[in-house]
Amino acid sequence: MKPPTESVSVAMATYNGQRHIRRQLDSLAAQSHLPTELVITDDSPDADTVSIIRAFAKTAPFPVHVQRNKTRLGYRANFIRAAGLCSSELIAFCDQDDSWYPDKIALSLKPFSDPEVLLAYHNADVVTAEGVRIGTLANRAARQPLLTPMSAAPWWPYPLGFTQVFRRSLLSLSDLWSNSVDQTDASKPMAHDQWIYFLAAVFGTIAYLDEPLAAYVQHGTNTYGWGKPTLLKLIRKQFRDRSGGCSRCAKSADARAAILEVAKTRFEGVWAKRADMAAEYYRKVSSLYSERTALHTSARLIDRLRAFQSVVRQGGYTGAWGFERKVIVVDMCLGVVIGRHFRPGADQSNGGLPKRTFSQP
């Protein structure tokens, strides 16, 4: 049996991937360190994608396990299911429409020689459908190569799933995933990559590899994509209404705290202590974002001012709670001073967070 640091399963969730999936599959077969297995769960309404997978499986240098979902799960639950079907100690998420460079798996496994590392992720080239490089994902890099427990920002930037490799132990809380709340859409649970990153940031160390190890292909039909911000978009970003985004972040943090309260009862030793500390942290995050919601929505100036003072007293603008220090100016000007009079159209904000469309660094 291979040591855990050498055994890795690839978890791929597919949906109508027939146009691009063969390129991705071929890049997996060309890895210098082959995966132990490829596990695919398919959400497609027809069999075209699965037919391509099964044709690849006949000559693949590793076992390929593919299962079609009886009903469409959506990409979030589909990835969670694929990961749960994997058997290796390490698991790598894989999108259907990218291309991995030959040493992606081999280099991604190196940080796991440290038993504290629960997740490793890497940089990637952003390329057009024709293979022309137009950027990288360097703007999603961690502040330092190693992030110890609870030293990562709660929301952003989190690494995209196809750049992640993580320990199977993080799947022990998968039954609680449906209780999570996505801070960008409070009607849905967290995306698979957000969820795994959240758990890894609580319970262990996260490692970042600056070398691009995959091509993030932009073909025009990506579920989520990459774009270069315009000057107008940057200006609008600064002057958008933040009340809805703050409210969603408060709900998401509250859900995380509740999940961690359950988690601490399941573990012993250091993981139980980390779950307890993280639950307390997220309760405060929820409180601060609730106060920020109030300072952007309360009808009376005195109530907005009190909410602002509460955030200041609690050290909310120190940069440790999920919003940048410069937000103090935004909250004072657009929240306390202008308040509910400032409502430029429907709330498309994200509480100071960028959406899941990725910009050039």
Asked whether the whole model's pTM tops 0.85, one would answer yes
Give pLDDT, residue 155: 86
Rounded to whole angstroms, how far apart are CA atoms 339 and 303?
A: 10
Fold of 8-227: Spore Coat Polysaccharide Biosynthesis Protein SpsA; Chain A (3.90.550)
Q: Where in the chain is the domain with CATH 3.90.550.10?
A: 8-227
Beta bridge partners of residue 93, listed in sequence order: 11
Query: Residue 150 in 3-state DSSP?
Result: coil
The predicted structure's pLDDT at residue 232: 55
| pLDDT tens string 255-274 | 999 999 999 999 999 999 99
Element (H, E) at 66: strand 64-68
Q: Please, what's the b/e burial string for 4-41 (b: 16 or more CB within 10 A of its CB; e: otherwise)? A: ebbbbbbbbbbbbbbebbeebbebbeebeebbbbbbbb
pLDDT at 237: 53
Give me the pLDDT at residue 334, please.
85
Distance (Å, rounded) from C-alpha 255 to C-alpha 279? 10
Could you read off the pLDDT of 166-206 as tens digits, one per residue? 999 999 999 999 999 999 999 999 999 999 999 999 999 99
Provide φ and ψ at 357, rounded to 5°: -120, 125
Reference 15, options 65, 75, 71, 62; nearest CA is: 75
Q: What is the mean pLDDT of the chain?
A: 88
DSSP state of 183: T
Query: What is the longest distance spanned by two Cα atoms in the chain?
Result: 70
Measure CA of the first residue to CA of the last residue in the chain; give whole Å: 42
pLDDT tens digit string along 54-97? 999 999 999 999 999 999 999 999 999 999 999 999 999 999 99
Say if residue 340's pLDDT is above 90: no
Of residues 316 and 1, more confidence is placed in 316
Question: How much of the chain exceeds pLDDT 70, in percent?
Answer: 86
User: What is the model's pLDDT at position 338?
Assistant: 82
- Using one digit for the tens of pLDDT, what is the confidence trace for 107-121? 999 999 999 999 999
Residues 6+ apart with CB under 8 A from 83: 11, 39, 91, 93, 171, 174, 192, 196
pLDDT digit string, tens, across residues 21-52 = 999 999 999 999 999 999 999 999 999 999 99
Is a pLDDT exceeding 90 seen at residue 357? Answer: no
Confidence of residue 243 (pLDDT cuts 50, 70, 90): confident
